[in-house]
Amino acid sequence: MADPHETPAAHGADATHATTSAEHGSGGGGVPQFQFEHWGGQIAYLLVLFVITYVLISRVFAPRLRKVIDDRAATITGALDTAKQVQAEAEDQARAAASEVGEARAQAQRVAAEARAKASAEAAEKSAAADAETGAKIAEAEARIAAMRESAMANVGAIAEDAAKAIVEKLTGKTATAAELKAAGGIA
C-alpha cells in the first residue's frame, strides 16, 4: 500500500478515487489500474512476450500439430482404403466361392437326374419285358382254355345226341338214326 503514495503524479481522477477509497479506510490510492506510470513497462513487456509467443506458435508449434493431425488423417484414410480393398477382395472371394458352390450343385443335380433317368429307363424295360412274358402266358392260357371249351362243347353235342336217342327210344320205342339226331341237334 506504499506505492501509490510514493508516486505523487496523481491525476485528477486518481485524487477523487483516493478520497473515496480513503473513506472506506483502506488508504488506497484510487483504482490501481489508472496509475499510468506503470503502463509503459507492462505494455512493452506484453508486446515482447506476444511477439515471441506468436513466432513460436506460427513457426514451431502450429506446424508440428498440423503435421501430426495431417498424419493422422492420412493414416486413417490409408487404413480405410486398405480395409475397403480387403473387403472388396473378400467379397470377390465370396462371390467366387458362391459360384463354385452353384456349379457343384448344378453338376450334382445333373448327375442325379441322369441316374434317375437311367434307373427309370431300366425299370421301364424290365416291366415291359415282364409285361410281355405275362402277356404270352395269358395268351397261351387263353388258347388252352379255348381248346378245352371247344372239346367240351363237342362232348356236349355227343351227350345231347345220346340223350335224345335215349329219350326217343323210351317215348317211341324206335331207334332214331344218327342223321335224324343230327338234324334235331341242328334245330335245337
Partner 1 sequence: MASPLEQFEIHKLVDFPDVTLPLVGHVDLAFTNSHLAMTIVFVAIVAFLSAVTSKAQVVPGRLQTIGEGVFGMIDNLTESMLGHEGRKYFPFVFTIFLLILGMNLLGMMLTFTATSQLAITVTFALLTFGLVMIIGVVKNGFGFLKLFWPMGAPLVMRPAVGLIELISFFLRPLTLSLRLFGNMMGGHVALKVFAGFVASAAIGSLGLIIGPPVGLVSMAMVVALTALEFLVAFLQAFVFAILTCIYLNDVVNLDHAH
For residue 13, with 0-12 CB atoms within 10 Å meaning exposed, 13-18 middle and 19 or more buried, which class applies?
Answer: exposed
When the beta carbons of 38 and 137 are compared against partner 1, the nearer one is 38
* C-alpha span between 72 and 77 (Å, rounded): 8
What the block records as the C-alpha cell of 48 is: 515482447
From the list 5, 11, 38, 126, which residue makes contact with partner 1 (rule: CB under 8 A)?
Answer: 38
**Of 47 and 158, CB closest to partner 1:** 47
Q: Using the 8-state DSSP alphabet, how is residue 60 labeled?
A: I
Residue 14, all three cell numbers: 486518481
With contacts defined by CB under 8 A, how many residues of the chain interact with partner 1? 44
By the rule CB under 8 A, 26 interacts with partner 1? yes
Residue 130: Cβ within 10 Å count: 10
Smallest separation (angstroms) from partner 1 to the CB of 59: 9
Site residues, partner 1 (CB under 8 A)? 1, 3-4, 7, 9, 21, 24, 26-28, 31-35, 37-43, 45-47, 49-50, 52-54, 56-58, 60-62, 64-65, 67-69, 71-72, 75
